[in-house]
Each structure stands twice: as structure tokens, then as C-alpha cells.
Amino acid sequence: MMISRKHGFAFVAAALSALCLSAGSAPAADDAASPQGKTWDDVKNLPDWTGVWVSQSLPKSTGWPLNDKGQKEADALGALRKVNGDIPSRSKKCLPGGFPGGMSGPEEYTEEWVFLPGEVLLTQTQGFVRRIYTDSRKHHIGKASMQGDAVGHWEGGTLVTDTVGLDIGNEIFYGFPGGKNMHVVERIFLKDPDTMQIDTTLEAPDILNAPAHYTILYSRHRDWQPVEMNCAQNNRSVDAEGNQTMQLDH
């Protein structure tokens, strides 16, 4: 089943020219006093991130330093959108866009955080789960994946994550893959009691000349309950022309 992106999903060209979103300052680092969530007692001292979170907007940046290859791909997608009104994206095959692009989206894309000893989980209505390990482990060398290999640590009330091992088809924006050797660092904290801020630094040497920096804000809804998206609900996949290729809900 094809997913409409009319709910606030602008084409990458619009995102590339957007002005920087006003960002608050991350809380000061204090590693020595920061509970790392290694035990259940530590978890009790971590910040309160309960509730359902919804991104307020697409990522905003002061400018995306595209290299020649990246600019060529962006121009090609822009031309295709003018002709077809849309562009190819994993979502059209009922697949998540992957990290980091999957961290933002319309209101249907709700997120929940779960703290465990030595691990932070992010669950999302697209059906994916991000696992961020806070037990001091190093990155492992494994097969590239949609969510990659993420390790993190707490600096006061800020969760700092470092993610590698990302699939080359992972989208940084709707329909725009980041390519090989992506590396993402996030600083995640509460800007105010009901606003989460994620400051992201993205290295994508396949399409960028230099790291890109952007911020996403999220609103907390304490009384919401997440629901499944249509793709997860209906278990269907379609090809680029919109023809159904698989159905699992017999």
C-alpha cells in the first residue's frame, strides 16, 4: 500500500535550502555525576522521557554541503518529482527509510523511549526499533542495517549517541539515500519538559563534502497511545509503479 507524504513531507530540495531551526543549548556535560543506566537503580535516575513523541518539523540546517555526486542525485530527484509528482522512496515498498531519515516525519510517526540497564530503546510506529547500548561497549563490525550499530553514554541529562554500520540505501530525507560510510552523532535532551531536542551531525562522504549539522524538535503527548501504520497493519509491498507484489495477511 502506497504511503502519502502530503503530511508535511517536502522534497529534499526544500530541506536543503531551509534556514536553521532555532536551537536551545544542550545541558552541560557532567560525566562523573551522570548515571549511565547500567543498573535498574541507575535507570530510576535517568531523565523522564515517558510519553509519545512527535517531530515538529523536518530537519532544518544552515545548508547541506553536497558534493558533485550528491548534487547530481538531488537534481535528478527534483526533475523526477516535477514529472511524476513524487519520487522513489523505500516507503513505497512498505519499508522504513532507515536511520537517520526515519527520525522525522508526519504526525503518524510517533516515537517512544524505553530505558533498560545498559540500553536505550527507541520504538517507532513505522515498526522499527533502535537499540542504543550504554554499557561502554565498542562498535561491532557486522552487516550494515537500517538502524546501524549504535552506542551511547549520558552526559548529565543528555544522551550522546554514535551510530555506524548503516545501509547505503538509508534515506537522510524522503527518497534521498545517504550512501556509503555514513556516521551519525546525536545529542538528545529535553529543551523543556514537553519538548525534546536532537542535535545531529551527519557524515555521509558519498554525497557530502563535509559533515551536515541539523536539529529536530519533538513534542511530548503524555496521554497518547501509538498505533500501527498502514504498512505494518496490512503487510503489503508494492513496486515503484504501485503494483502490489506481496501480501502476507491471508
Q: Which helix (H) or strand (E) holds 233?
A: helix 230-234
Annotated domain spans of the chain: 12-24+31-226
Residue 217, helix vs strand vs coil: strand
User: For every one of its 250 residues, what pLDDT tens digit does the chain have, with 9 covering 90 and above?
Assistant: 333 343 333 434 444 443 333 345 566 555 545 667 888 998 999 999 999 999 887 666 557 899 999 999 999 998 998 988 888 888 777 777 889 988 887 666 789 999 999 999 999 887 789 999 999 999 987 899 999 999 999 999 999 999 999 999 999 988 899 999 999 999 999 999 999 999 999 999 999 999 999 999 999 999 988 777 666 555 555 555 555 554 444 3
Query: Do residues 196 and 188 make contact, with C-beta atoms less than 8 angstroms apart?
Result: yes
Output the pLDDT for position 107.
62
Output the pLDDT for position 229.
67
* Residue 45: partners with Cβ closer than 8 Å, 6 or more residues away: 35
Q: What is the DSSP string of 35-64?
A: ----SHHHHHTS----SEEEESSS-EES--
Three cell numbers, residue 33:
555525576
Output the pLDDT for position 88.
82
Q: Mind spelling out the 3-state secondary structure of 115-149?
A: EECCEEEEEECCCCEEEEECCCCCCCCCCCECCCE
